[in-house]
Amino acid sequence: MTRILLALAVTTLLAACAAEEEPKGVIPQHQLDSMNKATDVEAMMQNAEQDRREQIDNQ
């Protein structure tokens, strides 16, 4: 019985000392990074489309 109580106490203390990860925002950083990359790609594609239209208009 003593061993069970000792094991339970040690387990409780270890669980209480475990560091909890605190969220830094609603959207995880890796998803924000992906969204920023997608925005950059979108801007690049819009610029390429604009250049293509200008070339067609100049012909």
| Residue pLDDT, tens place only, 6-46 | 887 888 777 766 666 666 778 888 999 999 999 999 999 99
State the residue for tokens 């819009």.
Answer: 46
Long-range contacts of 44-47 (CB under 8 A, 24+ apart): none
pTM for this one? 0.51
> 20 or 5: which carries more pLDDT confidence?
5
Q: What are phi and psi of 47, to 5 degrees?
A: -65, -40
Burial 8-44 (b: 16+ CB within 10 A, else e): eeeeeeeeeeeeeeeeeeeeeeeeeeeeeeeeeeeee
